[in-house]
Structure 1
Amino acid sequence: MSGRPVRLRPSARGWTFAAVALVVLVGAPLTGQRDVLRVGVLLVVLLVVAGWSAVRSAATLDLVSRSKSELVEAGVTSTVRLTVLGRARAGVRLVLEDQVPLALGGTARLPVPRLREGQILDLEHRVRAEVRGSYPLGPVTLVARDVFGLVTASRTLGGSVTLDVLPRVHPLADLVLGDLGGARGSSAGASAAASLDDVSLREYRVGDDLRRVHWRSTARRGAVMVRSDEHPGRPDVVLLLDTRAAAHEGRGAGSSLEWAVSLVASAAVHLHRRGHRVRLLHDGAFDPPRELDDSSAVRGLLRSLARLRPGGPEGLARSVAALGRADSTLLVAVLAGVDEEDVAPLLSARPLGVPALAVLERTAAWTQPGQDDGPGLRRAHLVLARAGWRTALAGPGDPVSEVWARLTRTGARGTPAGAPSDATRAARPAPLPDEEVRP
């Protein structure tokens, strides 16, 4: 049995009984009403017995384990399982209360049947969050109420744990960079001549799994090519996220920041599944560390996005400065509320010969639908396009998959917001597999 102390608290009915008993015990001797005095004594005995039975019952149950997914996606229901062990048969009603934030559905109350000594019982409840974030779960409290409802005894079982709710992940179309212009330096031709998949391909070696053969590249090159999970010294795909609080608009799940985070998360999962190392750059820092393996890195990246908070006004400038020291094969920037002065440093910070894509959020539309983009955003768009960046504008009504499709070779250029492109229709759903959301 856990050594946690039991807390006893009278209910409203219990306080009423106690007040009546006190009045009777004090007033009966003064008035010579012995029969009334017996009633007062009976009330006191009833309160004592109710308290004793509740305290005893609160010590008859222990929490054995709590099972949950530490990483779940926003908008997806997750199951929390509690396993309890009976120490003795309880004499009163027992309820387990799992402390859950309102954003996840509020405190869960689970009735517990009477258990024999040594009997194990599995209980479960569901949680769901519409907004990414890091939420505490627990502690679990065992509440015992006597049959008359006079007192409540409670005991804390276990501690709190953290549930990270990831941003929504959307299916994305394949990204091909062969027609990207504006790559600079002698390596530009090599970068532009191949698709992003080619970075993770190598020639077949005896013993390789034939299921890893990349048939399209095999046909194009005339040699058997396989996907490789070993990328020693391979540069990273960098996802630059503009998190400046002043640059974003809207609140909650419908804000421009949440839209941007969802796009970055979708791109990270999509590129990771295609065999590429992905790193997040925001507020001047890379996350996760380069030393982690690919699977751990993408889990760390998603966890960082779940816990991400709006940054300061210098966050974008610091990220651009850090970008100049990075080595990458692809740069994807998601920018909010920018003008030509904000994006100008990106042109020189962009690694030599690296293809670059940028999504520019029309943040004004998040609070004022139909609002004009403004000259600053239009000039920023033009500056990046002239420098060889592939760009797309995004508003609150634009699906993440559609905006990404505009950045692909097969994406429908000029497709109206909300109209599905061929690439979007061809993209298959990509739910997070268990191995990518469990630590």
Structure 2
Amino acid sequence: MNRIWPLTLRGTGALLLAVACFVFAGQLGVSELVYFALLLLAVLATSLASLYLVRRADAVRRTIGTDVAAVGRTSIVSVQVNVRTALPMPPGRWEDSLPHTLSGEASGVFPALASGLRADDRTVRLSYPITGVHRGVRPIGPLRITSTDPFGLARRRHVLRARTSVTVVPPVVDLPPISNLSGATGGILQATAEQPGQGADNLIARPHVPGDSMRRIHWRATAHRDELMVRQEEQEAAPDATVVLDRSLLRYASEALRAPGADPGFETAVTMCVSAATRLMRDGYVVEVIDTDGVPLTDPLGGDDVGEVDAMLTVFASITATRDDHLGGLPAQFTGATMGPLVLIVGRFDAADAALLAPVAHRSSLPALFAVAPVGDALDAAAAAGWRCATIDPEADLATAWHAVSDRGVSHVYG
């Protein structure tokens, strides 16, 4: 039956029978049919009154089993509904509206209730599973409850418009540790000295650049290399690492600007970004996650703090592409810097980009580049410049791609 029509199939039949009784009572002259028709109408009116006058759903409250939902993971939504009814309430149906960022069976049988007028005595508890489909912050609701009267003649649809916002964060892929690269990356296994002259085994020499103090000149290395060299202390424990996410719309589909989850390529880049940042933090690094213009996308991560990871994921739940392209300005941000691991995630990547980024690779102890859509031999050119490269697409195994950066060169990784 039409949802607007307040009578069930049984109630509609009773109404038609009442009308037929009125018609045949006049034609056949049987007055008893009139009384029977009036009785049917009275029962229908009572059924409608029992639904609209003495029964109502007052409030709904939802809680989610986890603080946030994640793409590809299942959470449980618990729903509490307060219902007032002066008459017994037979079983009905309920349905909760889910946004496109979630999937699940948000419907079922609404249980029968005994009579009562106190809302706190009539709390119905429901639950259903949800699975994250796309990133984003979207509301669940409204909740619709379809109930009938005790005779099953009339139907009412309660709409509880209270909504509950649900944050769907990107998934964090469990990447393998880079502990086997700790010596190359300046990782947590290295012990260093702060002052020149202490711990000589930890001192290295590098070419002199303008601004270096003359007191830091390494005379032995200068004589050996026949060029001016200065002392440089290696990184301490808990060194810095940087993860750069290129969000330029020029490198992704136009849908990446519209809403989270719209472009599979951009979603792959976001997932790789948060997964790499989490992995580096667990390996003992203080991780800074930035855009290509140098602006931090979230607070630095450090100390294996789960709360910091959750805060980062919440930020990335709603992040989208931008119209600006700052990839060409990335080398200027690291001029004169000596960094630990540098992870760069880009979308479309061509030979011109590889040439622009060539100077950056030599500033990092572990320069890793992940491209969603490399063009031609762009990654070969980047690898020749010192980058450790891997190709990822929306179907790629990101853990395999991450492991591939341990070998210098290019690794094309597909799902």
State the TM-score, normalizing by the size of structure 2.
0.67
Matches within 5 A, 1:352-391: 352-353=363-364, 355-361=366-372, 363=373, 376-378=375-377, 380-391=378-389
- The residue number in structure 1 matching 2:145 is 142
- The one-letter code matched in structure 2 to 1:97 is E
DSSP-derived class of the 2:379 partner: helix
- The one-letter code matched in structure 1 to 2:389 is T
- The one-letter code matched in structure 1 to 2:370 is V
Greater Rg by CA: 2
Give the CA deviation at 1:349: 6.7
Give the CA deviation at 1:8: 8.4
Q: 1:334 aligns with which of 337, 341, 345?
A: 345
- The residue number in structure 2 matching 1:182 is none
Give the CA deviation at 1:405: 0.4
- The residue number in structure 1 matching 2:326 is 318
Give the CA deviation at 1:413: 7.4
CA gap of 1:355–1:415, structure 2 versus 1, over 3 A, is closer
- The residue number in structure 1 matching 2:155 is 152
Give the CA deviation at 1:287: 1.8
The answer to whether the Cα contact below 8 Å between 1:249 and 1:257 also exists between their aligned partners in 2 is: no
Give the CA deviation at 1:355: 4.1
The answer to whether the Cα contact below 8 Å between 1:8 and 1:55 also exists between their aligned partners in 2 is: no
Deviations along 1:359-398, whole A, 9 cap, x unmatched? 123x4xxxxxxxxx7xx431x2133223322112335664
Give the CA deviation at 1:22: 5.3
Identity across the alignment (%) = 20
Q: Distance in 2 between matches of 1:36 and 1:250?
A: 67
Q: 1:10 aligns with which of 2, 6, 11?
A: 6
Give the CA deviation at 1:247: 3.5
Q: Distance in 1 between matches of 2:254 and 2:20?
A: 62
Matches within 5 A, 1:289-304: 297-304=308-315
1:265 aligns with 2:261: no
Q: Distance in 2 between matches of 1:84 and 1:355?
A: 55
Deviations along 1:180-237, whole A, 9 cap, x unmatched? xxxxxxxxxxxx85533369x899xxxxxxxxxxxxxxxx99xxxx977xxxxx8662
CA gap of 1:66–1:255, structure 2 versus 1, over 3 A, is closer
Give the root-mean-square deviation of aligned CA atoms: 4.6
CA gap of 1:397–1:155, structure 2 versus 1, over 3 A, is closer
- The one-letter code matched in structure 2 to 1:144 is S
The answer to whether the Cα contact below 8 Å between 1:397 and 1:417 also exists between their aligned partners in 2 is: no
- The residue number in structure 2 matching 1:279 is 289
Give the CA deviation at 1:104: 0.8
Q: 1:166 aligns with which of 166, 169, 172?
A: 169
- The residue number in structure 2 matching 1:81 is 78
Q: 1:43 aligns with which of 37, 40, 44?
A: 40
CA gap of 1:355–1:60, structure 2 versus 1, over 3 A, is closer
CA gap of 1:110–1:128, structure 2 versus 1, over 3 A, is farther
Q: Distance in 2 between matches of 1:227 and 1:352?
A: 19
CA gap of 1:391–1:109, structure 2 versus 1, over 3 A, is same
Matches within 5 A, 1:111-260: 111-114=110-113, 117=118, 118-119=120-121, 120-157=123-160, 159-175=162-178, 194-197=185-188, 237-242=242-247, 244=249, 247=252, 255-260=264-269
1:34 aligns with 2:31: yes
Structure 2: runs of 5 or more not aligned: 194-200, 203-235
Give the CA deviation at 1:36: 3.0
- The one-letter code matched in structure 1 to 2:113 is R
1:404 aligns with 2:407: no
Q: Distance in 1 between matches of 2:370 and 2:307?
A: 27
Q: Distance in 2 between matches of 1:89 and 1:412?
A: 75
CA gap of 1:178–1:156, structure 2 versus 1, over 3 A, is same
Paired residues, what number? 357
- The residue number in structure 1 matching 2:197 is none
Q: Distance in 2 between matches of 1:37 and 1:282?
A: 83
Q: 1:69 aligns with which of 66, 70, 81?
A: 66
Q: Distance in 1 between matches of 2:59 and 2:29?
A: 50
Which of the pair has the greater relative contact order for Cα pairs under 8 Å at 6+ separation?
A: 1
DSSP-derived class of the 1:174 partner: coil
CA gap of 1:397–1:104, structure 2 versus 1, over 3 A, is closer
Deviations along 1:312-336, whole A, 9 cap, x unmatched? 6x44x23554785588744212223
- The residue number in structure 2 matching 1:185 is none
Give the CA deviation at 1:50: 1.1
Q: Distance in 1 between matches of 2:295 and 2:8?
A: 55
- The one-letter code matched in structure 2 to 1:401 is A
DSSP-derived class of the 1:168 partner: coil
CA gap of 1:322–1:397, structure 2 versus 1, over 3 A, is closer
The answer to whether the Cα contact below 8 Å between 1:321 and 1:349 also exists between their aligned partners in 2 is: no
Give the CA deviation at 1:270: 1.8
- The one-letter code matched in structure 1 to 2:386 is G
CA gap of 1:17–1:87, structure 2 versus 1, over 3 A, is closer
- The one-letter code matched in structure 1 to 2:379 is H
**331-340 vs 101-110, which deviates more?**
101-110
- The one-letter code matched in structure 2 to 1:160 is R
The answer to whether the Cα contact below 8 Å between 1:279 and 1:288 also exists between their aligned partners in 2 is: yes
Q: Distance in 1 between matches of 2:109 and 2:295?
A: 44
- The one-letter code matched in structure 1 to 2:274 is A
CA gap of 1:36–1:161, structure 2 versus 1, over 3 A, is same
Give the CA deviation at 1:172: 1.3
